[in-house]
Structure 1
């Protein structure tokens, strides 16, 4: 059974309410029917019901989906009042709050804030910024977490890597050049993703660099050294080591030579890249040259689960991301 199949099975075990604000987008409509049919989650589609019907070009069965038009919803004013209270110090007026709440992306995160939904998936026709901005304003990050980040779960056909071929790579999609504190937070959040989603019971986290244990001197190495120290302070129960070169993180003989006695070196199953360039290049090389399946990007660090799609996503991509979001929601 593939990891994605395991994630879907876990989602089915505790059926969560996932809101899809792009309710009149054809791929989203088709995915909603599949999600309901497979029992992965309860689906809430946002949008005008007539527009959703017109966009349902494949005439899939949406009878078990909840359809809500934010502009005419009985809860519009309640959510608008909530949003106004949250943002009035930023200068928003009640009238502006009401208009903003009619936006399906804002309505969706306000549903989550009000515990009327458990998670959100968007991005088929919206940018990452459009998807995350409402989440950051309304849901915010987990207590003590300074940054929202992303990870990919990599499932490699060769089981010698990571845990039976499964690894977590971060951050490959959101933060361009995180500072030491942010990099430490990414490491800790990635450990949670490894446990909750990837089935990695014992995350072994390698803080990657072009240096291993001061083999090179540079301010970029210093950042990773400081991030490793901070991550250990934030989560002393985790196995974290750094700074490590990629071969020291993955190959036991190299790792134990360069970092003797390390529980991580040569055994890493979570790789934390120093910046987005390294992370994005790294996961795509492993995916394209190494033949790994890349599941993600998965957002981490928010107080409630919100995930972003690629605008080129397929119907099956949407189904998979909803399953991931539903599993994340089980931890809240």
Structure 2
């Protein structure tokens, strides 16, 4: 209970103010937040459960789906529970170390997810452009190693940011107008020089988002070239259908991020609560929709989910012996 008595002047504490201007609507806003979060957890845990239980799904593509599901769970869990504490309980206090830890995990998860999308694009490229060698090029062990490399890259790039912010002197008024510890909002509370941190943030975004988008664009350029060489229209459609789910997930990940970044940079007329709502939706909507998209577009997962759902919903069969 001592956490409720802390003020923004406490040198070891920040205040997360939720969504400024919409404090009266926090309870109502918490409803879609909690619903999206629950659907996200159910969908992604279902993907993990089905793939782990079915030996026939122990393949590179489904291993990548499990990695994506883990990052979806991690990303939303970094933000939503604390946001709900703000909305429901008014518990706005967060320690400086807790704030920087949240920031580190959030950016590590985002960087890992971007790497997984690149590996997925490479997976689709091999499946379409070199299908005969797919099983030898993309083994489960190789996919796991690529995922580990993506995780290590994300951690190494995310780690310096909280360490640099930790060294900044902060003002007495330590109120963050956000639901989570967003770096630019934290930097605004500092009276120190933040040019190095801003430059590092920009370079990191270019290294992760810029490089990854370039690799994805290159993969799909090669895929389109290979598809255009196929004379059969049916083969065209089959080849492109294998990429549909990945394209949808990729657009859901990158487009809202770019839109939010552009509104921050050029949308001076956009109110603060709109920026904050957009930032939260970027963390809530993709994790909720990703398992739905792959469940609809991937027949194997759709069939297995249907099978397990029917088993759970149907009463246990009872054998009666004739008297």
TM norm structure 1: 0.27
Q: Which structure has more RCO (C-alpha within 8 Å, separation ≥ 6)?
A: 2
Structure with the higher fraction of residues in strand conformation: 1
| Structure with max Cα Rg | 2
TM norm structure 2: 0.28
